Structure 1
Amino acid sequence: MSELLIITGMSGAGRSTAAKALEDLGWYVVDNLPPQLIAELAVLAATAEPRVRRIAVAVDVRGRSFFSALADAVSTAERSGIRTRLLFLDATNETLVRRFESVRRPHPLQGDGAPLDGIRAERKVMGELRGNADTLVDTSRLNVHELASKIIALFGDAGDPSIRILLMSFGFKYGLPLDADQVADVRFLPNPFWVPELRAHNGMDAEVADYVLGQEGAAEFIDRYALALQPVLAGYVRENKRYATIAIGCTGGKHRSVAITEVLAQRLEGAGVAVTAVHRDVGRE
Structure 2
Amino acid sequence: MRFVIISGVSGAGKSQVVKYLEDLGYFCVDNLPPALLPKFAEICSKSSESIDKVALVIDVRGGALLKDLFPGLQALNEAGFAYELLFLEASDEVLIKRYKETRRSHPLAPEGRVIKGIREERRILQEIKDRADHVIDTSNLTTRQLKDEIFSIFSQGKSFKGIIISIITFGFKYGIPIDCDLVFDVRFIPNPYYIPSMKKLTGKNEAVKRYVLECSETETFLAKLIDMLEFLIPNYIKEGKSQLVIGIGCTGGRHRSVAIGDKVYNMLLERQHSVVIDHRDIEKDGRGAVK
TM-score class normalised by the smaller sequence = over 0.9
Q: Is 1:121 aligned to residue 120 of structure 2? A: yes
Moved more, 5-14 or 270-279: 270-279
1:245 maps to what in 2? 245
> What's the Cα RMSD here?
1.7
User: Residue in 2 aligned with 1:157?
Assistant: 156
Deviates more, 1:9-18 or 1:197-206: 197-206
Q: 1:270 to 1:110 in 2, by over 3 A?
A: farther
Q: Matched residues in 1 for 2:213 and 2:154: separation? A: 42
Paired AA for residue 172 in structure 1:
F
Letter of the 1:184 partner, please give it: F
Cα distance in 2 for residues equivalent to 1:96 and 1:14: 10
Q: Which moved more, 1:268-277 or 1:86-95?
A: 268-277
CA distance in structure 2 between the aligned counterparts of 1:232 and 1:217, rounded to whole angstroms: 22
Unaligned runs of 5+ in 2: 286-291
Relative to structure 1, the CA distance from residue 3 to residue 216 in structure 2 (aligned partners, 3 Å threshold; closer, same or farther) is closer
Structure 1 residue 39, shift from structure 2 partner: 2.5
Distance, in Å, in 1 between the alignment partners of 2:251 and 2:136 is 51
Q: Offset at 1:66?
A: 5.3
Aligned to 2:288: none
1:226 corresponds in structure 2 to 226
Q: Which amino acid aligns with 1:196?
A: P
Deviations 1:225-261 (A, max 9, x none): 0110123222332344333221110011111111111
Matched with 1:59 is 58
Q: 1:159/1:111 Cα in 2 relative to 1: closer, same or farther (>3 Å)?
A: closer
In structure 2, the partner of 1:106 is 105
Deviation at 1:111, TM superposition (A): 4.3
When residues 111 and 159 of structure 1 are mapped into structure 2, their CA distance, relative to the original with a 3 A threshold, is closer
Mapped contact 1:39–1:72 kept (Cα < 8 A) = no
Per the alignment, residue 173 of structure 1 pairs with: 173
The runs of 5 or more residues in structure 1 that have no matched partner are: none
Question: Structure 1 stretch 273-282 or stretch 54-63: which is displaced more?
Answer: 273-282
The residue identity in structure 2 corresponding to 1:215 is: C
Work out the percentage of aligned pairs sharing the same amino acid. Answer: 37
Q: How many residues align?
A: 284
Measured at CA, do residues 152 and 263 of structure 1 come closer, stay the same or move farther in structure 2, by a change above 3 Å?
same
The one-letter code matched in structure 1 to 2:259 is: A
Q: Output one character per residue of 1:132-187: Cα deviation in whole Å (capped at 9) or x when no partner.
A: 11100000011223212211111112336422222121110111111212110001
Secondary structure, aligned partner of 1:283: coil
> Is 2:8 aligned against 1:6?
no
SS at the partner of 2:215? coil
Instruction: Map 1:1-285 to 2 at 5 A.
Output: 2-65=1-64, 68-159=67-158, 161-162=160-161, 163-285=163-285
CA distance in 2, matches of 1:206, 1:111: 64
Counterpart Cα distance in 2 of 1:166 and 1:112: 45
**Deviation (angstroms), 1:71:** 0.8
**2:59/2:66 contact within 8 Å kept:** no
Deviation for aligned residue 1:50? 4.6
Q: Would you say the 8 A contact 2:60–2:66 is kept in 1? A: no
